[in-house]
């Protein structure tokens, strides 16, 4: 329900009768103005009351989008504490908690007879809304920085901002700097403060630097390919195969040991990542607190897979040579050479 202030609105025209003396021309003008007021003020009051009635009826039918539209149109005609409170309640039903908190707070501050009668209901609704919200405060030293969060673009520094509690995605931008996309976990009714340091944008490349870099890279790649070409010594028969068996076996064993060590390091990195040390209360994500552990886990995982793969391949080659070395004197041959940090092998079995 709501109260209409139609009587107060009509009283706005009473100033027309306060002057004790007026001429004939003034009387005509005042009569014309009075006629307009008598026609328009009741019409506006009637529209306001009709919109409020429609909004309340739509709220009773859970048509909250349409109800909010009626209340906002009524507020455009006359912004009373009642219509502001109704807007806040409709926004609460639609899950627009930030706007709902602002409107209910405004209505309670404005006061009035209807607000006093519904004070407990409005306070309970406001408390329920605030339980869905938290506060995020972002600091950035870059000039003209802006914060983009929940569809809002806010200049920094902005002070504390009300946001939905939970995982909040936000973006900080500034002219001449690389933007920063981040996340923060904001608990209900908690305050999270984050300081963002933006990196300056890299200057544009000088003319010719790209082509020079490309040619240098191509030259380096070509030289690396040439140096990586193995110059194998091709022992044949039983003598060559037998000589390579212990070498390949030792290499496979070393790769296996390396894989075990890398796997142990990987497990330790995972345990630290999942532990309490990487999850401080409140502000930031694990990826921001323990970025080194994440990188260490990725490197250890890659080393584990590579080491076990090398050990498996060399183990198979060693086994084949050991089994067939005695049967084929000239049928098997293998050639290996060290190229960079890797081992290049070719063989015939």
The CATH number of residue 162's host domain is 2.60.40.1120
Residue 123 lies in a domain: yes
Chain segment 162-216, per-residue pLDDT in tens: 999 999 999 999 999 999 999 999 999 999 999 999 999 988 777 655 444 444 4
Chain segment 123-133, per-residue pLDDT in tens: 999 999 999 99
The residue from 93, 108, 130 where one domain ends is 130
Residue 108 lies in a domain: yes
- Of 88-92, 284-288, 318-322, least confident by mean pLDDT is 284-288
**Which of 124-128, 233-237, 287-291 shows the highest mean pLDDT?**
124-128
Residue 229 lies in a domain: no
Same domain for 40 and 73: yes
Does the bond joining 82 to the residue before it have cis omega, within 30 degrees of 0? no
Same domain for 243 and 302: yes
Residue 211 lies in a domain: no
Residue 298 lies in a domain: yes
Same domain for 122 and 75: yes
The residue from 102, 130, 158 where one domain ends is 130
The residue from 130, 155, 176 where one domain ends is 130
Residue 220 lies in a domain: no
Same domain for 148 and 121: no
Same domain for 139 and 111: no
C-alpha distance from residue 139 to each of 144, 179, 252, 270, 289 (Å): 12, 14, 54, 32, 18
Residue 218 lies in a domain: no
- CA separation for the pair 141, 196 (Å, rounded): 8
Same domain for 77 and 45: yes
Domain total of the chain: 3
Same domain for 125 and 103: yes
Q: Note the pLDDT of residue 228.
A: 41
Same domain for 65 and 96: yes
Same domain for 97 and 11: yes
pLDDT tier, 219 (very low <50, low <70, confident <90, very high otherwise): very low
- CA separation for the pair 168, 286 (Å, rounded): 14
CB distance 198 to 142 below 8 Å = yes
Same domain for 102 and 76: yes
Give this prediction's pTM: 0.47
Same domain for 122 and 13: yes
Q: Which domain holds residue 325?
A: 235-348
Is the pLDDT higher at 324 or at 256? Answer: 256
Same domain for 119 and 64: yes
CB distance 296 to 216 below 8 Å = no
Phi first, then psi: give them for residue 228, nearest 5 degrees: -85, -10
Tokens of 302: 């890659």
Residue 251 lies in a domain: yes
The answer on pLDDT for 269 being more than 60 is yes
pLDDT tier, 302 (very low <50, low <70, confident <90, very high otherwise): confident
Q: Note the pLDDT of residue 225.
A: 42
The CATH number of residue 43's host domain is 1.25.40.10
Phi first, then psi: give them for residue 222, nearest 5 degrees: -60, -45
Alpha helices (H) along the chain: 6-10, 24-60, 64-77, 81-93, 97-110, 113-117, 119-130, 209-228, 237-274, 286-289, 291-324
């Amino acid at each position: 329900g709501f109260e209409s202030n139609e009587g107060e609105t009509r009283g706005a025209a009473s100033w027309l009768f306060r002057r004790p003396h007026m001429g004939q021309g003034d009387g005509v003008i005042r009569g014309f103005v009075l006629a307009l007021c008598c026609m328009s003020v009741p019409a506006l009051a009637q529209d306001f009351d009709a919109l409020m009635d429609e909004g309340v009826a739509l709220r009773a039918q859970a048509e909250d989008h349409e109800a909010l539209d009626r209340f906002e149109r009524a507020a455009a005609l006359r912004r009373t504490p009642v219509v502001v409170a109704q807007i806040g309640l409709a926004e609460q039903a639609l899950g627009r908690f930030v706007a709902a908190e602002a409107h209910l707070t405004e209505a309670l501050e404005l006061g009035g007879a209807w607000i006093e009668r519904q004070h407990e209901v409005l306070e309970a609704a406001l408390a329920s809304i605030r339980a869905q919200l938290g506060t995020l405060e972002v600091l950035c030293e870059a000039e003209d920085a802006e914060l983009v969060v929940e569809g809002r673009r806010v200049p920094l520094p902005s002070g504390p901002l009300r946001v939905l509690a939970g995982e909040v995605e936000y973006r900080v931008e500034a002219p001449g700097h690389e933007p920063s996309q981040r996340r923060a976990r904001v608990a209900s009714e908690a305050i999270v403060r984050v300081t963002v340091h933006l990196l300056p944008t890299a200057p544009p490349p000088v003319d010719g630097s790209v082509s020079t870099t490309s040619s240098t890279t191509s030259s380096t790649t070509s030289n690396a390919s040439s140096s990586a070409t193995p110059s194998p010594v091709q022992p044949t028969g039983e003598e060559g195969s037998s000589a390579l068996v212990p070498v390949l076996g030792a290499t496979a064993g070393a790769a296996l040991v390396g894989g075990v060590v890398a796997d142990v390091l990987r497990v330790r990195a995972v345990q630290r990542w999942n532990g309490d040390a990487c999850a401080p209360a409140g502000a930031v994500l694990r990826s921001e607190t323990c970025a080194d552990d994440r990188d260490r886990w990725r490197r250890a995982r890659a080393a584990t897979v590579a080491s076990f793969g090398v050990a498996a391949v060399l183990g198979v080659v060693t086994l084949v040579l050991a089994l067939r070395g005695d049967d084929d004197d000239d049928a098997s041959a293998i050639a290996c050479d060290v190229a960079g940090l890797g081992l290049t092998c070719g063989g015939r079995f």
